[in-house]
Chain A
Amino acid sequence: MLKSTLNNVSISCLCASVPYDLRHVKDDWKGDENDIKKIIDNTGVQSRHVVDESLCTSDLCFQAAQKIIQTRGVALKDIDGLIFVSQTPDGFLPATSCALHGRLGLSKNCAVFDVNLGCSGYVYGLWLVGSLINSGGLKKVLLLVGDTITKLCADEDRSTWPLFGDSGSATLLEYKADAGPLNFVLGTDGQGADKLIVRDGGFRSPGKPFLYMSGSDIFTFTIREVPPMIKEVLELSGYNKDEIEYYVFHQANLFILNHLSKKMKLKKDKVQTS
């Protein structure tokens, strides 16, 4: 695994936004009640925030970014970077980050681009922005991460519908000379590309896009790859596992979280569930 330690980078502020519409699993699932109960008991997800057709990821991220700018009193001219990490952009072009740059009224002296990543997107985004700041290039950067993935979920696909919700976030990262180190362990397994995929709707296969997920393959991948990565990042940081206050996994499924906790011998109250 790739290990990286970044200094002089401060995570100054984080804001997240969700759409108002809260949908219960039973609202979407046409199966019998026992079936719904089984899914809810297993996944732990009873309801999710879901966008309507009019809202895009960029709208949710825009709200979150505005909140940070207003509440923190950030001068727009001081923001010299904006990175948008998402797999549900407004369209093919322009880059959604550029459109957001315009909507937010940022200065032209600003490095702006999109990154196409999903589950790993927030961690990769932190590492990427941290690297840009650590190198001395940028001083104050907005990292906007989110997805409106429910727009890609096929009706009644029980491997995706009961689990996925929509959200946008904004994080302000700044150069700060005395900021503590940020430690990352990163990796990639491209062999699994067809296990979580939107096959259609691009240039190789035009058509209506929808999300396919092989839940059992994702589970296998998770329990195989995550525990050693946690071990590595703890070693890199010089902490033992009990010194960590919270473990926040990018995983909604309670069954997977419980198995991970048991496998890594983590105390249950330290593992965040949604």
Chain B
Amino acid sequence: MNKQAFLNEIEEIFELDKNVLTGSETLEELGEWDSLAVMGFIAMVDENFEVILEAERIMSSVTVDDLIALVSVYLEKEQTAP
């Protein structure tokens, strides 16, 4: 999964239109970053990368880029794969 596909997944969690996120947006301005959204994010990351992120790390994220940073290792791996 590349960064754009990951952004599209986040758009789905926030019920936003496709391809509107750039990464610099704060989570607060996108809607309610509540436990339902956090659980949706944890599930999405687990489904795509088979990694279970600690809720605390997600809750302390401020921007979309912060969320990307949590999984950047996995995104980069896929991008550099032959």
Contact = CB atoms under 8 A, between A and B. Distances in A.
Contacts of A223: 42-43, 46, 52
Interface stretch (B4-12, B18-26, B33-41, B62-70): B33-41
B39 A216 contact: yes
A42 B42 contact: no
B36 A42 contact: yes
A35 B47 CA distance: 26
A272 to B, nearest CB: 20
A220 interface: yes
B75 interface: no
Interface in A175-230: 214-217, 219-220, 223-224
Contact of B47 (A214, A216, A262): A262
Interface in A66-119: none
Most-contacted residue by chain B among A39, A159, A220, A262 (CB, 10 A): A220
A265 interface: no
Interface string A22-60: 000000000000000011001000000000000000000
A259 B54 contact: no
A255 B35 contact: no
A224 B42 contact: no
B70 to A, nearest CB: 13
Nearest to A41: B36
Contacts of A215: 35-36, 39
Nearest to B36: A42
Nearest to B46: A223
B30 interface: no
B55 A214 contact: yes
Q: Is the interface of B mostly helix, strand, loop or mixed?
A: helix
Nearest to A217: B55
Interface residues on A, range: 10 to 19
B55 A220 contact: yes
B36 A38 contact: yes
Contacts of A259: 43, 46-47
Given A42-B36, A159-B35, A216 B42 contact: yes
A259 B38 CA distance: 14
Contacts of A217: 55-56
B39 A219 contact: yes
Contacts of A255: 36, 39-40, 43
B36 A219 contact: no
Interface in A145-189: 158-159
A273 B56 CA distance: 28
A269 B40 CA distance: 23
B42 A220 contact: yes
A216 B46 contact: no
Interface string B48-78: 0000111110110000000000000000000
Nearest to B40: A255
Contacts of B42: 216, 219-220, 223
A80 to B, nearest CB: 45
B8 to A, nearest CB: 19
9 contacts: A38-B36, A159-B35, A214-B35, A215-B39, A220-B53, A223-B43, A224-B52, A256-B39, A259-B43
Given A158-B34, A214-B55, A224-B52, 4 more contacts: A215-B36, A216-B42, A216-B59, A259-B43
